[in-house]
Chains A and B, each alone.
Chain A
Amino acid sequence: MKLPGGTIICARNASSYYDAVIVGGGMVGNAMACSLGAKKSFQSKSVLLLDAGRSPSLSSFESGAPFNNRVVATSPTSIDIFKKLGVWERINSHRAKKVNRLFVFDSCSTSEIEFERGQNEEVAYIIENDLIVGSLYEKLADYKNVDVKTGAKVEVCSIPNGLENMATIKLENGDVIETSLLIGADGVNSKVRHASNVDYTTFNYNQHGLVGIVNIETANGKNETAWQRFTTLGPVALLPLSDTISGLTWSTSPEEAQRLKQLPADQFVDELNSALFSQDDQLPYVNQAIFALNKMNPFRTETFGRKAEGTTPPHIISVQDKSRASFPLGFGNAHSYITTRCALIGDAAHRMHPLAGQGVNLGWSDVQILDKILGDAVREGADIGSITYLREYDSAAQKHNLPVMVSVDLLNRIYRTDAPAIVAARAFGLNAFNSLGPVKNFLMNYLSAHR
C-alpha cells in the first residue's frame, strides 16, 4: 500500500483486487467465468472464480465409464451458449445424448402431450452436470484475464451501500479479496445472497427428487424420447443417456424418497415400472370424455397410425449400483437479483421444481444477460458495479425467468392431486393443447427462443 507521503507499507494480510469475482464453481459460475474470459471488452479486466471444491476431471466421462447420477436437460438455447463459449465440441465429443421428442403423460387419465422436432433438430440434450462443469473449467485455462482458486471456501462477504466502497470476500484461509463486482453463483444457500440482504421468497414442496441411473429396454432399440409421467406424488422422468441407459428423476414425498432409496435394487425396479405403467389411478369417465372429444377434433391427425416409438415408456431392467440419491425440492426467487456491486445468478437467485428441467437453463440465460450488460458498462466507461447497469440485468432476467418458474410451479400443483374435477380439467387442457398443432409449435418455439 502506498500512502500519499510516499511510504510503502506491507500489510500483513495483503488483500488482492479483481474487477469481478464469481463465487461458486458450478455449472453457472463456470459459464459466467468463461463468458467474461472470452469477452473482448474484458481483456483488460481481471476476473476471479472461487470454487469451493475441485473441478471434475474430464477423463471420467469417456464412453464406457459409469454415468454420473446428476444430469440436466440442456435446452437448444443453452446449447447455443455452449457453442458461443467454445465448449460444445468438448462436451459433445465425450457424451451428450440428443433427445428429439418429449412425451408427457398422466397416471390419472389418458391425456398426453408430445413435443417433437425433426430428425436433425433436438428438443434437448441430456448431459451430466460434471461433464459440463469440467468442460467449462478446462476452457478457462485459455483465458489470461481469469484466475481460478479451487478449494476456496468463503467465510463472509460484505457488500457496500454505495459505489465509493468495494465489495470484499473473506476466505476461510484468511485471504481477503476486494472487487468492483461480486457475482453470486453459489447455489440455493448462497452466502452472497445472504450478504446482499435482498428479499427472498422461498417455500418447500414437501417433495424430494430421487435420482438414479437405470438400464432400460425399448421396443426399437433406440432411446431418443424423454418421458415424464405425472403421478399423484410427483412426476417421474426418464432422460436418455445412451440407447440402453437413462437418468431417472423421480419427484415424490420425502418419506417415499427415503424408502425407495433404500429398497433392494430389484424391488426398486418393480416400483419404478409400476409408477410408469400402473393403470390403478385412471379415471374411466375422464378417459371416455377424452376419447369422445378426440373423435370430434378435426385438428387431431395423429390419433391413427402411431409413431414407431409409440406412447409407452421403456421398461426398466435394473438400477445401477449406488446411483440412487435424493434431495429436497423447493421454490425460491430473490425479489431483486442485484444490489450495488453485487449480482446473483443461477440457483443463488432462483430455484424451481425440476419437472420441466428448466432450472439451470435459466441460470445460463442469466449468464448471457449479465454478460451483455457488463459489456455495455465497460464500453461506456462505467463502474461495472453500478446499479444503473445491474438494474437492466435484474429486470431482463426476472422478466425471462418468472413466467417459466410460475408455470412450472402451477403444473406441479395441478398434477399432485387425483381429485376428479382437477384431473378432468388438466386432462382436457393438456389434450386440447396437444391437439392444436399450431399452438403447440408456437409454444415450443417460444421456449427455445432467443436463438
Chain B
Amino acid sequence: MLPLRTLQKLSSRFHSTIATSSIDAREVAKFGDLSGEWADELGSFHALHSLNRIRVPWIVDNVKQGEKTSKRLVDVGSGGGLLSIPLARSGFDVTGIDATKQAVDAARLSLQSAPLQRSRIAERLRFEHTSVENFCQKPENKSAYDGVVASEIIEHVADLPGFIGSLAELARPGAPIFITTINRTWASKVAAIWLAENILKIVPSGVHDWEKFITPVELTAHLENAGCRVAAIHGLMFHPIGNHWTWIESTQCNYALLAVKK
C-alpha cells in the first residue's frame, strides 16, 4: 500500500509524461525485489557493503561534524543507497543522486522501511533521479555541500572532466570530495576484470569496462582543472575470503582519493 502510493507520487513528480494509472503492480513488485537485492549484505553487492566498513569511517573522519545541525553530503551515484543510508545513520544529512531510475526507486523504497522510518533516519535522507550535470545546475545545489561523495562511480561515466567539474561545483569552498575507483593497470585488468568477474564472481560479469578505468594521475589533473587540491591517495584491497577490505599502500588496483575544493 505504502510503496505503491509512494511510487505513484514519485512517478507523477519526475515522469510527468507517464500517467499515474500506468503503474502496475508487477512493476512495484519488481522494484521491491530490486530493493531487497541492494539491501542484501551477502548478495550481489556484498563487496560494496563490506567496503562501507572502511569508507564510512574515512568519510566521517574527514567531514567535521556540525555542532547543532547535520552536515550536508551529496552521494553521487548512490545506486540503491547502500552508502547514503550508512552516512545518514552516521548523522549526516544526505542527498543521493543516480541516473538509473530503478536504482533510485529501490533506494526510495528502502526509505519507507520501518527501521529507517522509526529511527527517523529517513528524515535526513532523500534520493533524486537525475544526472550530476543537471543536479549542479540548480542554484540551491551550487557550493551547497559540506562533502561530496563519488564512490565506485567515475569508472562508469562517459564525460569524466564534465563529471568531475560538476562534483566540484557542488562542494562549498574547503569541503572534501571523496572518490573511490579502480586504476587502469595490468594488475586491475587481472584482478578487477578477470578475477572479480569471471573467476570469483564478486561483481556481475560485464559491469566494468577496463578502458574506462582512470589512473590517479589523470584523476588528479581533472580535479585540479576543476579547482580542487588532492589531499591524499590511498590504495584499497579487497579480500574475497572473509569479504573485507583493507587500506594498502599500492594504488595499482582499487584506490581512494580525498580532494578539497579550493
Chain A interface (Cβ < 8 Å from any Cβ of B) = 3-5, 17, 19, 44, 163-166, 178, 180, 376, 378-383, 385-388
Contact = CB atoms under 8 A, between A and B. Distances in A.
A164 B52 contact: no
Contacts of B17: none
Residue from B57, B87, B114 whose CB has the most chain A CB atoms within 10 Å: B114
Contact of B115 (A3, A166, A376): A166
Interface of B: 2, 5-6, 9, 36, 39, 41, 49-50, 52-54, 56-57, 60, 85-87, 89-91, 110, 113-115, 118-119
Given A380-B53, A386-B41, A387-B41, A17 B118 contact: yes
A380 B56 contact: yes
Given A164-B115, A381-B52, A387-B41, A44 B91 contact: yes
Contacts of A4: 2, 5-6, 9
A180 B117 CA distance: 11
A25 to B, nearest CB: 24
A181 B43 CA distance: 22
Task: Tell me the dominant secondary structure on chain A's binding face.
Answer: loop
B52 A379 contact: no
B86 A19 contact: no
Given A163-B39, A388-B41, A383 B6 contact: no
For A5, A44, A383, the residue with the greatest tally of chain B CB atoms inside 10 Å of its CB is A383
Contacts of B50: 388
Contact of B89 (A3, A163, A383): A383
A178 B60 contact: no
A180 B110 CA distance: 15
Contacts of B113: 164-165
Candidate in B2, B49, B50, B118 with the most chain A CB atoms within 10 angstroms: B118
Given A166-B114, A379-B60, A382-B86, A180 B119 contact: yes
Nearest to A46: B119
B89 A17 contact: no
The 6 closest A-B pairs by CB, nearest first: A381-B86, A381-B56, A17-B118, A381-B90, A380-B53, A381-B89
B87 A381 contact: yes
A44 B87 CA distance: 14
A370 to B, nearest CB: 18
Contacts of A163: 39, 41, 115
A335 to B, nearest CB: 20
A17 B52 contact: no
21 contacts: A4-B5, A5-B5, A17-B118, A17-B119, A44-B91, A163-B115, A164-B113, A165-B113, A166-B118, A180-B119, A376-B53, A378-B89, A378-B90, A380-B53, A380-B56, A381-B89, A382-B52, A382-B89, A386-B41, A387-B41, A388-B50
A379 B118 CA distance: 20
Nearest to A341: B115
A387 B9 CA distance: 34
B2 A380 contact: no
Nearest to A2: B117
Given A4-B9, A164-B39, A388-B41, A383 B115 contact: yes
B136 to A, nearest CB: 25
Contacts of B53: 376, 380, 382
Nearest to A381: B86
Contacts of B56: 379-382
A193 to B, nearest CB: 23
Contacts of B41: 163, 386-388
Contacts of A379: 56-57, 60
B57 A178 contact: no
B237 to A, nearest CB: 17
A5 B6 CA distance: 9
A380 B115 contact: no
Contact of B60 (A5, A165, A180, A381): A381
B261 to A, nearest CB: 23
Nearest to A179: B118
Nearest to B2: A4
B89 A178 contact: no
Contacts of B2: 3-4
Nearest to B84: A381
A385 B60 CA distance: 21
B115 to A, nearest CB: 6
A336 B169 CA distance: 50
B165 to A, nearest CB: 28
Contact of A19 (B54, B87, B119): B119
A55 to B, nearest CB: 28
Contacts of B114: 164-166, 178
Contacts of A166: 114-115, 118
Nearest to A165: B114
Nearest to B87: A381
Given A44-B91, A380-B56, A385-B115, 19 more contacts: A4-B9, A5-B5, A163-B115, A164-B36, A165-B113, A165-B115, A166-B115, A378-B89, A379-B56, A380-B53, A380-B54, A380-B57, A381-B52, A381-B56, A381-B85, A381-B87, A383-B115, A387-B41, A388-B41
Contacts of A387: 41
A166 B119 CA distance: 10
B80 to A, nearest CB: 13
A400 B56 CA distance: 30
